[in-house]
Amino acid sequence: SSSLDPNGFRNVPGELITVPVTSIDAVVPAGVKVDIAKIDVEKFEHCVLNGMARVLAESQPAIVIECLPDGPYEAVERILSKFGYRFYHLRCQGPVPVSGIVPDTSGRFRNYLCRTQDSIAC
């Protein structure tokens, strides 16, 4: 397991190491269309979304994102809502439309599909 939290992750002690990081906006050139993104970064999803604000505005990609009960799911919902995203909880029966992100406390269904109205029509 790995985490950006220097205190460790889920009661596993951490070890601080330095690694280079960047943002999606820095990697994807302006005007390049992004269709889909999968985000699973163990409670730092809001940081990834903040680092891809231009891509979200330009491309409105479909996003599959893991949302944990102890993660920043409220920040995820707030950030994506600003860009007009709607939320679908990924369940056995398929994507279920929901008004907001409420993580599954059982841990079985952790992922949400997030799409804008424009991206649904494509």
Q: Which helix H or strand E contains 71, and what residues bound it? A: none
* Pair 24, 32: CB distance under 8 Å: no
* Pair 75, 50: CB distance under 8 Å: no
Residue pLDDT, tens place only, 24-82: 999 999 999 999 999 999 889 999 999 999 999 999 999 999 999 998 999 999 999 99
Averaged confidence pLDDT in the chain: 89
- Number of alpha carbons in the 13 Å side-chain half-sphere of residue 112: 25
Q: Which helix H or strand E contains 52, and what residues bound it? A: none
Residue pLDDT, tens place only, 41-50: 988 999 999 9
